[in-house]
Copies of this chain bind each other. A is one copy, B any other.
Amino acid sequence: MKVGFVGLGQMGQAMAGRLLEAGHELTVYNRSRAAAELLAARGARVAGDPRRALDGEVVITMLADDSALEAVWITPGLVQKMPPSCVHLNMATVSLRMGKTLSSLHRAAGAGYVSAPVFGRPPVAAEGQLDIVAAGSSSAIERCQPLFAVLGARWFVAGVEPYLANVVKIARNFMLAALVESLGEALALARKSGVDPAVFLEIITGTSFDARYKQYGRRMVEKDFASTFPLKLGLKDVELALEAGADSGVPLPTASLIRDQHLAAIAHGFGDQDWSALGEYIARRAGL
C-alpha cells in the first residue's frame, strides 16, 4: 500500500521500519530531516514537506504530543488539504481535548480519519507486536487493517467517533499508573514489615490479577452487585492495611483514599452489595 508517515521519533522510526519490511511503499516526513534519512536507506521516499505524505491511501501521524500535532498537522492546514482518496491514521497518544478537536476538524473537512493509539515501546513496535485501539468509521478502519496486521499483535475497535480510542488509551495508561503506585505501596509495606521483597513479589504474582480485572469489571459493566463479598468487608480489609501501615510507619495514600470511597459508598447504601459496587459509587460521584 502507498502510505505517508509523519513523525519519526523512536516509535515512528520503529513502526515505519516495520511497514517498509512488510513491503509497503512509504513517503516519510520529519521536522528534523536526519530521522527521515535513516529510513531512506531502507527504501522510503523522504518528503521535504508533509503535504507530500498525503498522496497515498493512508497517512500515518506519530507526533510526540498535542503541540507537535498542532504545529505539523493542524496549523499548516493539512486536514483541509487531504485528498478524498486518503485516510488520516493518527497512532500517537493525544489528549482527549485534542482527540475531539481532530475528530471535528476532519468531519468538517470531509476527510477520512482514524484514531488508533498503540500500547508498546519501540522494540515491540519493530516486531509488529503492538496492541492497537482504533476508532473511526468502519470503511476508514477497513482501509487501515492491512497496516494494523503488520504493526499489531492485536487490535480493537473502540467505537465510531475517533476520539473514543483516545479515551481508552488514556484510561488504560491511568490504570497502569495505578498499578505501579499500588504495587509500590504494597512493596513498601511488605519490606518495612520484614517480608523479603522478592518473596513478596513471587507470592503476589503467583496468582492472577487478570482474572480479578475481568471479574470485577464484568460486574461493574452489567451492574450485577448481588453480593459474594460485600463492600463493607472490603472496607475492613482496607482498614487492616491502614493499621498495618501505621504500625510499620508506612504511608499508604491509595489505601487512605479507597477507605474514604468505601465510607461514602456505604453512606449511599452500597455496604451490603458486592465489592464491585464501589465502581457504581464512583460513577455516581461523576454524575453518571
Contact with B along A176-189 (1 / 0, CB 8 A): 11111111111111
A121 within 8 A of B: yes
Asked whether, in the complex, the Cβ of B213 is within 8 Å of the Cβ of A275, the reply is no
Residue in contact with A268 in the complex, picked from B260, B283, B287, CB distance below 8 Å? B287
Number of copies: 4
> What is the CB-to-nearest-CB distance from A175 to chain B, in angstroms, rounded to a whole number?
5
Query: Which residue on B lies nearest to A279, using beta carbons?
Result: B184
Q: Please tell me which stretch of A23-31, A43-51, A69-77, A203-211 contacts chain B, meaning at least 4 of its Cβ atoms lie within 8 angstroms of it.
A: A203-211
Asked whether, in the complex, the Cβ of A260 is within 8 Å of the Cβ of B249, the reply is no
CB-CB under 8 A from A190, the residues of chain B are 167-168, 171
The answer for the CA separation of A217 and B267 in the assembled complex, in Å, is 23
Query: Which residue on B lies nearest to A214, using beta carbons?
Result: B205
Q: List 19 A-B contacts (CB under 8 A).
A: A96-B193, A96-B244, A96-B248, A100-B247, A167-B190, A167-B194, A171-B195, A174-B186, A174-B189, A176-B212, A177-B241, A180-B279, A183-B220, A183-B279, A184-B278, A188-B282, A192-B287, A198-B221, A239-B246
